[in-house]
Amino acid sequence: MSGPARLKTLAGAGFAFICVFVLGGLIWATWLTVRLEDYELRALREEGVQSALWRLDNTLMPFLARETGRSYRHYSARYAPTSLSRNGAEVNASEYALPSPILEQDPPEWVDVYFQWGENGEPTSPQILPQEQEDRGGSASPAAPATPPTETLALAEALRELTSHLSYDELRDRFNAAVARDLHSAPDPGTSAEPIPLASAQSRGFERYQEAQMRGTQEWATRQLVNRQLQQSNTQMIGCDPIDVVAQNLLNKVENSNPALPLDVPEYAEVWVTPMIPVWLPREGEVPGLVLMRRVTVAVPEVTESSVYQGLLINWEKLRDSLLAQLAESHPRATLTPVMSSTGTRDHNVLATLPARLDIEPMAAGVSLWTWNEGRATLLLVWGVALVSLGVIGLGLRTLLTVSNRRVEFAYAVAHELRTPLTTFRLYTDMLAEGLVPEESRPEYLQTLNRESKRLADVVNGVLEYARIENRKVRLAPATIRADEFLNRTRTTFAKACADEGVQLVTDNQWEDGRPLTTDVELVLCVLGVLVANACRHGRNGDGSRVLVRLGEAGERIALDVVDTGPGIEASDVRALYKPFRRGKSAESRAKSGLGLGLALAKNWCGLLGGRLELVHRKDPTYGGAHFRMTLPQLQTNGVVG
């Protein structure tokens, strides 16, 4: 591998390594930046989701806390208070009964109905009062506010809708499944609500159970049933109250007990109340229903136990619209969807108060994937600087390689051109100095030395002229000349040189008669000299070789065509045609002498004149050889292009 080729390979490998290193680092930095921005975007979106969830949970929490803390007694339209009278005695339900506070509340629009459902009956609602109560003759119980008939019908319809979709057993199973799925924390089984003194069960038809232990007779049990019937007729209790069930079970135990044995009846009943748990009620082809419910269990240890389910039937569509209305400004396309089953993994988009998932559109967090920010601006700036730097480095390497190649080519071309004449000079001068040349051959030897000296002068002048052009030290000297006079100077200048090469010079004047030319005639003749010399050197084709110089017009410009009758130019030589120190790749071209500066000088000279030099045909269709055209503007006498 030659020196220039090795240098080019090493430079290319080094530049490739630099590109891979720089671009690899930038790609890694870009990937890392995009990932960090993606994490930031996810964090912002998650923050937006959590903020929205907090707002919705904060809206529902007070309502759920109030309903969870509501006494189980409030689910009866009237209930006996567990309080004392002014003299410290327990209040008897036969004397006083309170209306449920639910009747005095204005529930949210998305609450359809409050209900209580026991295993031994249909669901009832504390919002639906019985028919107007008869005057109880001085009863101290306050009057409950009457429910309007239209609302009563709506409440009754809501209860019917509840029972039409599921039975008590299904309700119980769904409640147990919701607890088992651990969507919400169930209460600690070791805790209970306030214990109910069984002595206060007189309000349900009992006297103190210590009396049962003392009497233990059927007479006592019969009297309890009579008292219970009288008390129920006076108070008109509504609903499947678990205390009623427990009291009835205790009464049955009293009735069925052996009068001869003492009856051990505990003094208190235990009451267990779970918190409110949301339960979805799937409806085929419809929006699922939502129930907030809890289980109330009243137990007398080792005697009896009773459970009822209390809760609210929620209109999910109204609740959903009400919640999403709060997010309309910040998250207009947010959605709430029921979570019907648990996947076993925690979903951070599910409300803490309801099994509903909040979904926010991808761009709702306020940051777009294509948002312009400082990080991306910096990254783009770094990319720009890196690419420009790589371009500068690549251009510098290319320039360095070009200069290096040109130096090598220049040295090779000059050495090649100088070697032959110098060898001839040395050989001929040695022969002449030693008297080895006959007297009659001396003129021929001297003529050869003269020709080779001119060749050396041409080489030196060509190099100097190229250096002058490269340094912009050429100055124009425009002059006005007639077309026929210009062609006469052309024939005078180049005819003998062409004849010496065995080529005929032909001129053709197609310029408008009488119109003068204004240009730098000497510089134009230099360009023509290069083109004619190349035509003579490479365009010889036997005895009929010719070179045509035609003067014509190209619009407002001067057109000079030089066409030869030679073999033309190979396609592989066209690309490097005007490069300095380059010669044709064919063996015939390389056999010709020359530095390879001619066309490079001619093109630069045309550029100085404001014109251009172009190859019209590699093989002219008429003459067969190369066809070059030089187009020049008319110059003013001060050298400015006209």
Domain positions in the chain are 1-68+326-371, 70-129+147-315, 395-473, 474-632
Provide the pLDDT for residue 311. Answer: 92
What band does 294 get if pLDDT is binned at 50, 70 and 90? very high
DSSP character string of 573-614:
HHTTTTSTT---SSHHHHHS---S-HHHHHHHHHHHTT-EEE
CA 121 – CA 517 distance, rounded (Å)? 123
Provide the pLDDT for residue 319. Answer: 93
- pLDDT tens profile 174-206: 888 888 765 444 444 434 445 555 444 433 333
Provide the pLDDT for residue 549. Answer: 92
- pLDDT tens profile 512-570: 766 788 888 888 888 898 889 888 888 777 677 889 999 998 888 889 999 998 888 88
Q: What is the end-to-end Cα distance of the chain in Å, rounded?
A: 52
What band does 221 get if pLDDT is binned at 50, 70 and 90? very low
Provide the pLDDT for residue 208. Answer: 38
Q: Which of these ranges, 162-176, 227-241, 251-265, 275-289, has the smallest mean pLDDT?
A: 227-241
Phi/psi at 115 (nearest 5 deg)?
A: -145, 160
Burial (CB count within 10 angstroms: exposed 0-12, middle 13-18, buried 19+), residue 544: exposed
The average confidence (pLDDT) of the chain is: 76
Burial (CB count within 10 angstroms: exposed 0-12, middle 13-18, buried 19+), residue 290: buried
Provide the pLDDT for residue 137. Answer: 38
Within 13 A of 426's CA, how many CA atoms are on the CB side?
A: 5
Most confident range, picked from 3-7, 225-229, 498-502: 498-502
How does DSSP classify residue 70? S
- Torsion sign across C-alpha atoms 593, 596, 597, 602: positive
C-beta separation of 321 from 335 below 8 A: no
User: Which among 533, 530, 455 is positioned nearest to 501, based on CA atoms?
Assistant: 533
CA 63 – CA 54 distance, rounded (Å)? 15
Provide the pLDDT for residue 497. Answer: 84
State yes or no: pLDDT of 129 exceeds 50. yes
State yes or no: pLDDT of 104 exceeds 80. yes
What band does 584 get if pLDDT is binned at 50, 70 and 90? low
Q: Looking up tokens 């309890």, which residue turns up?
A: 224
CA 358 – CA 52 distance, rounded (Å)? 8
Provide the pLDDT for residue 324. Answer: 92
Whether 395-473 shares its CATH topology with 474-632 is answered no
One-letter amino acid for residue 26 of the chain = L
How does DSSP classify residue 90? B
474-632 in CATH: which number? 3.30.565.10
Average pLDDT, integer, range 128-138: 49
Q: Is domain 395-473 annotated with CATH 3.40.50.2300? A: no
Q: Which of these ranges, 206-220, 349-363, 535-549, 621-635, has the smallest mean pLDDT?
A: 206-220
User: Which among 459, 421, 419, 428 is positioned nearest to 446, based on CA atoms?
Assistant: 428
State yes or no: pLDDT of 328 exceeds 50. yes
State yes or no: pLDDT of 10 exceeds 50. yes
C-beta separation of 314 from 287 below 8 A: no
State yes or no: pLDDT of 97 exceeds 60. yes
Which residues face 269 on adjacent strands? 196
Q: Looking up tokens 């803490």, which residue turns up?
A: 352
Provide the pLDDT for residue 156. Answer: 84
What band does 416 get if pLDDT is binned at 50, 70 and 90? low
User: Which among 573, 583, 468 is positioned nearest to 523, based on CA atoms?
Assistant: 468
CA 162 – CA 78 distance, rounded (Å)? 23
3-state secondary structure 552-581: EEECCEEEEEEEECCCCCCHHHHCCCCCCC
